[in-house]
Each structure stands twice: as C-alpha cells, then as structure tokens.
Amino acid sequence: MDTQKTYLVFGATGHTGQHFTSLALQNGHRVKALARTPGKLTSRNPNLEVHHGTITDPPDLDPLLDGVDAVVSMLGDAQLQQTSPINTAFIRKLIPAMRRTGVTRFLYQAGGLSAAPGTRLSPALWTVRNTIARSYIGQHQDNEAVMRYLTDDAMDIEWMVHRAGIGSDGPSKGVLERSHKRMSIATFLDCASYNYRLLSDPTAIHTCDPSAYQN
C-alpha cells in the first residue's frame, strides 16, 4: 500500500466520484466527502467520513480540510448550471480555504467539451457541444470559468484539471493517459482511476488536458 493519504472529495456520489471513492478506500486511503445525498454512499468502510451538505451553501470548509492531502472535485448539476455557475462560486470559496489550511493539491474534473483557457475547441467538438450536448452548455461554461480562475488567480495551488471525454457506465476499457491531442469516450471507472493516478503525477500540475486510452 502507498502511504495513507486523506482525500476530501466533492461529488463523491456521482458517476465518477463513486468509483474514485471506492478506489481510494480499496487502496487504504481515507476519504472525507461532502454530499447533499449521503445515502448514496453505502460503504461502511471506517476510512470513509461523510458530511451532509451542499456546495451552494457550503459549511465552514476549514475543519473539512483539516488533515487533508488533496482535494478532488467531480461536481456537476447540469440543470442548475444552465443558469448558475455553482462550481465557480464554490471553487472561489474552496481555494482561499485551502490556502488558509495549507492544503496545496487540487484535482478538478471538467469535460472535454469545455475549452481550456486561451484555446478553442476543434470545429467537430464545437458542433457536438452546440447540438447533441446542448443541454450541458451551462456546465461547460461553468467548467471554463473554473479553469480561468485557477489559471489567473490560483497558480500558488498545485491544481490539475482533467477534461474527461463523454462518460459511460460499465467495466474498464483500458488505461487512460494524459493527452494533448486525443480524447476518449471512457467509462466512469477508467476516469476515476485516471484521476487517482493523476493526483500523484507532478507533471500534471497546472495542466487542463483531456485523457485518451493508450494505443
């Protein structure tokens, strides 16, 4: 087992977050989760500590960050994000709390249809975003605002953004790796495993890359 770490997870009840939480616990780590529907987390692992709460009216974050090695966000509420950038508002509270408590590492999962700061999506991805994936535009705009905030105002934090491709349920399809050019339609399980590995990859700090399956 690696040295035991403590992860503070936001979105632990979601598609990616459930797998990430299981993986971290299976590897002997501790997980603290802030969940608005804690009942979705059925694990009785003593290393799992669940706090009931919402990011739209968050509790005092400083005690939650106590003893934490890294923070992981796999948050999303596509319907609410159509009108309100809830993730950006929350991350703007989280980063100062991380500074206050000396927690430096942060992984944020965005989407492959969210453009990294200073870049544009390819015409093909832009078309997908504005047609079949139109109902997620607010979520992508929110993710883009988070990436801009991290780039402009949080370079003192060891953040890393995973721009995951469209996700699907099901078993592993292989191992995802960071890619500048390619983006795979991956399973949530593989995205979670990629996030877990990315957290201990110093070369991923201050990157907003997508992931793709190894050839």
Ligand X SMILES: NC(=O)c1ccc[n+]([C@@H]2O[C@H](COP(=O)([O-])OP(=O)(O)OC[C@H]3O[C@@H](n4cnc5c(N)ncnc54)[C@H](OP(=O)(O)O)[C@@H]3O)[C@@H](O)[C@H]2O)c1
Q: In this chain, which of 6, 8, 17, 115 binds ligand X, going by CB under 6 A?
A: 17
Nearest approach, Cβ of residue 20 and ligand X (Å): 9
Q: What is the size of the binding site for ligand X (CB under 6 A)?
A: 25
Cα–Cα dist 163/176, whole Å: 12
In the 8-state DSSP scheme, what is residue 210? B
Stretch that binds ligand X, among 36-44, 63-71, 117-125, 206-214 (CB under 6 A): 36-44
Closest CA to 31 of 5, 57, 66, 53: 5
Tell me: does residue 187 bind ligand X (CB under 6 A). Answer: no
Class of residue 7 by CB neighbours under 10 A (exposed 0-12, middle 13-18, buried 19+): buried
Angle between helices 123-130 and 137-153 (to 10 degrees): 130
Residue recorded with tokens 């793709």 = 212
Tell me: does residue 111 bind ligand X (CB under 6 A). Answer: yes
Tell me: does residue 189 bind ligand X (CB under 6 A). Answer: no
Q: In this chain, which of 26, 27, 40, 170 binds ligand X, going by CB under 6 A?
A: 40
State the residues that interact with ligand X by CB under 6 A.
11, 13-17, 36-37, 40, 54-56, 74-77, 109-111, 139, 143, 164, 166-167, 188
